[in-house]
Chain A
Amino acid sequence: MKDKPDVLQGTLALMVLKTLDVLGPQHGYGIARRIEQISGDILVLNQGTLYPLLLKLEHEGSIASQWGASDNNRRARFYRITAPGRKQLETETSDWERTAQIIERFFNVKAEELP
């Protein structure tokens, strides 16, 4: 419990923001479910850790929340991304892409390609 979420902490926030950005307002369970689905069920969340993270993102102003009714008419708390959250998502996405590119190049490098 202590090690895994630490690795995930930064990326999990990014995943939450991206999910909300793409799919619009979601409740906690919805977010957890979507993240698992998108990752092709490779990533198994300890779903409870999502809630402190959501509160943190809300305190930071990246997302906002309010009570609403779900599809099957249950009362649930819905989270939506805010303008600052979108901006954060943008910068973090490009950061990630750059990092990924660099890592990819390292993986693909072959001895004969180097001068």
Chain B
Amino acid sequence: MKFLRRFFIRLSNLAAGRRADQRLREELAEHLAFQTEENLRAGMSPAEARRQAVLKLGGAEAIREDHHAEQSLPFIENLLFDLKYAARMLRRSPGFAFVAIATMALGIGATTAIYSVIDATLLHPLPYPNPSELVRIEDDLPGVGAQNVNVSVPEWKDLENSGIFQNVALDYFNSGNLTGSEQPTRIALKGVTPNYFAMLGVGAQLGRTFDPGDNTPGVILEVVISDGLWKRAFGADPRILGKTVRLDNDVYQVVGVMPPGFRDPGQTSEERNTELWYPGGFTAVPFPPPLRNSRFWTASARLKPGLSMAAAQAHLDALVDALKKQYPADYPAQEAWTVRLVPLSESVVGSVRQSLILLFGAVGFVLLISCVNVANLLLARASARGHEIAVRQALGAQRTRLIRQFLAESLLLFLLGGLAGIAILFSVGKFLLRLVPESLPHMNDISVNWGVLAFALAVSVAAGTVFGLAPACLISRYDVNGTLRQEGRGSSGTRERSRARQILVVSELALSLVLMVAAGLLLRSFWDLFKVPLGFNPSRAMTIETWLPYPNDPKTDIYSTATQEAVMLREVLRRNRALPGVEETAVGDRAALPLGHRKDDRNLSPLIREGQGVQSSQPPLIDTSIVSPEYFHLLGMTLLRGRLFVDQDLQDTPSIAVINQAAARTYWPGKDGKGEDPVGKRVRLRAEKPDWTTIVGVIADARTESLADASIPQVYLDIYQRPARDLAFFLRGQLDPSAISEQVREQVQAVDAELPVFRAETLNEVLSTSLSVRRFSMEMVALFAAAALLLAGLGIYGTISYLVNEQRREIAIRLALGAQRGTILKMVLRQGLTLAAAGAGVGLVGALIVSHLMAGLLFGVSSNDLPTFAGVTVVLTAVALAASCIPALTAMRLDPITTLHSE
């Protein structure tokens, strides 16, 4: 208490500049007067009385200093003084100040920018209370090579009763048509168990969320909407509660509006933008029968408080073993069913973590290089200030005091650099955000907030201290006599300091080599992916999506059979073909969209082959798409064997399928390894349906699932035999992307006015989006590598110039003694090359380590790709040589007479 009171009074005195000198002077004068009077009374002479009084009082200056130190805070006062001095010194050399501040602004600005992305994604992935308790529950069937196959309703009940979790919620992400407003809109929505929001721990801003105790087995006709939908579709109507909305022709009542910042914890950016949630029991119509192996639902849960992930997983493994014994028919041993807990944050950001960490590492390198560069500049400047320092030391300045002052100078530089960096970040932030791919989780939450500012400040101070301390120590270790005596001879720099500068430059070169190798490898991977033969033709093609409503009551469903749906589809296709510029049209489900998939669109169905393992219930899962006959021709996919779909294939003709080569290779490998002809083979694609589907054709593999993987087994079904709800229309021709969306909407709604039409994309856009995270990290790392190369070039230029300057006497003497100018040039260049070679040597080792760490991000290029490593080394050496050339030429043109005379 007392201490604090004293501290604050002193601080306020310091801040207000309140001084107590006058008061002390008066008090001391009085004191002396009293003492003198008393001395006089004791019989001293006036002069003696005064002298004794002064003696008794003690040293006036020391008292004044102590008194002043008590009045304010000497440490802070000194710091302010140092900073003032530092600012004056910087003003005196604006060129140096500008270069140093700009370098630091680049380093700290870039680091802060990347940190703001990491802050929003990796550090705050889940805006819910106690996020560490939240997990996703994933079933794996390693026995049949299936991962993350969702959870079934009986399994969910077992999990709820296991005692491991506070809540376990099921959900499924979907689309729905919201009708009633001027345009039917398709919105992202989620069916959830009533405890979903209770599990997340978030309440509504208006109204309520669902009642976790509601046991309705089917759909509960209530919805909670997002703040965004509330504002957009309902004009932020405060009386929204109790109003009804029509969703796929069913009427729901709005019971709550979520707060503005609420995001669904989805795995894809689309899912995170869910705008409407409705509850259901998942056990009765319209939900499929709750069978143990009907794993349709995503499960997330909140762990019991205090339970660790490992402990929970152990309990869960025990539960799984017990269930396997209890229901051996549902969990055959071959499937090797397991249940895995994944932190919810991991499932939200897991996919981009590696890219972001790579970026942060890269930007950290840039920061290091800029720090090293500024440290180098500080050292160089110290040579110029040798005289000043020596004089101050000779006058009795303490070494610690000198170090403190140099530290203040470097801190000021780094802080100004940091501030400049933040200012730049603020002014170009909008532009930078446009570079960030939209698929990044929490893309909208990226901002320069207080946490990010604190980070930038902390980085500036830490870097300023670390990289200011070393030069400060070196500088202050001056040999006073030597410096003062030698002043003017130009050889004041010690060997130690030029060694320090060389080490700094070598580390700069090494760091930039590592960055350039990383950038080179990423660039090559990206290029290879970009140039990979697709197996389909995306040019001039577009997709536009719609969604057929799925009413809860099957009797009101006008699209329940393929025949019913076919009427609508054929009519829309006919109308689309008549649109201007359109040459070809086709239709398919969302799974048929090339590369447009998010995880949820991959429609995996079990593939049961006739005559093979019919009894076992663990058929392999295969990617299934539903398409119209024109699809293959529109996308330019080649038929290898058999036939494609034709218009004569209908709901009442035998079911047929087309597979790709990868599927043929995987499932009909043949006995001699040559492969069996799958055409004519019969398969069953849904365990419950008894009818067989005949394979009629095999098409060539195309990278429609993943650019990186050419051979993912796929099966295509005929849309006129198997209806689909999530439809994508495909168009090819001279299309006007801005108008086509409206034109298709008119045609679709002319057939059914209730249908929404959304997300018109060209296939080239889809292709480009699928590469966006890769492109982003490649571009960023390349940018950082370029910055690093520039900084390293500057660093080596500065160091060689400095060396030349130090050696100019030596060079002049050599020249005077008849040395060839070419020899001098070679001598200087050799110094530059030696540094470059040392930097490259260290850098190559570092680059090998880093490239192996980032192997997971590479495609088609090995992590010790010789051309990349060699090319980068050549570039670095060339830059180092070019940077040494300017000082080398200066050295060569040195006039020996002037130089020797001037010293």
* Interface of A toward B, CB cutoff 8 Å: 1, 27-30, 32-33, 46-49, 51-52, 55-56, 59-62, 70, 74-77, 84, 88
Contacts and interface: CB of A to CB of B under 8 A. Distances in A.
B31 interface: yes
Nearest to A74: B30
B30 A28 contact: yes
A85 B33 CA distance: 29
Contacts of B30: 27-29, 70, 74-77
A76 B66 CA distance: 21
Given A27-B30, A55-B20, A48 B5 contact: no
Contacts of B20: 55
B2 A61 contact: yes
Contacts of A29: 30-31, 34-35
Contact of B63 (A32, A49, A70, A88): A49
20 contacts: A1-B58, A27-B34, A28-B27, A28-B30, A29-B30, A33-B34, A46-B57, A47-B56, A48-B28, A48-B58, A48-B62, A48-B63, A51-B24, A55-B70, A55-B71, A61-B5, A70-B34, A74-B30, A76-B30, A84-B2
Which among A28, A32, A46, A47 has the greatest number of chain B C-beta atoms within 10 A? A47
A46 to B, nearest CB: 4
Nearest to B32: A29
B23 interface: yes
A28 B63 CA distance: 14
Contact of A47 (B6, B26, B58): B58
A1 B62 contact: yes
Interface of B: 2-3, 5-6, 9-10, 20, 23-24, 26-28, 30-31, 33-35, 38, 56-60, 62-63, 66-67, 69-71
A58 to B, nearest CB: 8
Chain B binding surface SS class:
helix
A56 B62 contact: no
B66 A47 contact: no
Given A56-B70, A59-B70, A51 B5 contact: no
A55 B70 CA distance: 7
Contacts, number: 78
A1 B24 CA distance: 20
Nearest to A47: B57
Nearest to B35: A29
A1 B66 CA distance: 12
A74 B9 CA distance: 29
A29 B67 CA distance: 16
Given A29-B30, A29-B35, A55-B67, 16 more contacts: A1-B62, A27-B30, A28-B30, A28-B31, A33-B34, A33-B38, A47-B56, A47-B58, A51-B24, A52-B67, A55-B70, A59-B6, A59-B70, A60-B5, A74-B34, A76-B30
A30 B57 CA distance: 13
Contacts of A75: 26, 30
Contacts of A48: 28, 57-60, 62-63
A62 B20 CA distance: 19
A54 to B, nearest CB: 9
A27 B23 CA distance: 13
A108 to B, nearest CB: 36
A60 B4 CA distance: 8
A59 B9 contact: yes
A47 B53 CA distance: 10
B10 A59 contact: yes
A48 to B, nearest CB: 4
Contacts of B38: 33
A76 B34 CA distance: 10
Nearest to A84: B2
Contacts of A60: 2-3, 5-6
B69 to A, nearest CB: 7
B62 A74 contact: no
Contact of B5 (A46, A59, A77): A59
Nearest to A76: B30
A45 to B, nearest CB: 8
